[in-house]
């Protein structure tokens, strides 16, 4: 179906999930209602992340960094990410300013629209 097609695919150079930092590159796929990417977890190895826009809040863009919060526990990252700690964020570092522009053009409006429907 068209909803499973990525609108845009780019590469993340570095990611953070709360206290965990991952430096292996991963494709980031931007869809209409979610973003998907892989995180190399020290224990579980590769974790496929599916981040629905409706679950994202407090999104921030700073140069080539996109970060956001999820307000629930993440099953593979219970030791790394504490949703009650405001310092804990999910962060993606992109290589290219065009990627950040896609976040600005596609993801941020989708997050805002999803929040408005809750």
Whether residue 117 is predicted with pLDDT greater than 90 in this model: the reply is no
116: left (phi over 0), alpha (psi -120 to 50) or beta: alpha
Strands 56-62 and 20-22, by their bridges, are unpaired
If pLDDT is split at 50, 70 and 90, which confidence band does 3 have?
Answer: low
Tokens (6 digits) for 114:
């999803």
Question: Residue 44 and residue 62: Cα distance in Å, rounded?
Answer: 30
pLDDT at residue number 2: 46
**At residue 57, does pLDDT exceed 50?**
yes
User: Bigger pLDDT: 44 or 69?
Assistant: 69
Residue 1 has pLDDT above 50, yes or no: no
DSSP string, 34-88: EEEEEEEETTTEEEEEEEEGGGEEEEEEETTEEEEEESS--GGGTTT--TT-TT-
pLDDT in tens, 73-110: 998 899 999 999 999 999 999 988 899 999 999 999 99
**Structure token digits, residue 113:** 């629209």
pTM of the predicted model, to two decimals?
0.90
pLDDT level of residue 42 (50, 70, 90 thresholds): confident
């Amino acid at each position: 179906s068209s909803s499973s097609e990525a609108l845009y695919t780019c590469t993340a150079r570095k990611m953070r999930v709360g206290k965990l930092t991952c430096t292996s590159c991963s494709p980031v796929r931007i869809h209409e209602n979610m973003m998907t990417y892989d995180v190399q977890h020290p224990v579980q190895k590769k974790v496929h992340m599916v981040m629905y826009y409706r679950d994202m809040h407090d999104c921030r863009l700073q140069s080539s960094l996109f970060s956001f919060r999820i307000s629930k526990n993440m099953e593979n990252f219970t030791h790394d990410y504490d949703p009650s700690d405001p310092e804990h964020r999910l962060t993606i570092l992109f290589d290219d300013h065009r990627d950040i522009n896609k976040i600005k053009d596609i993801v941020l409006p989708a997050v805002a629209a999803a929040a408005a429907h809750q």
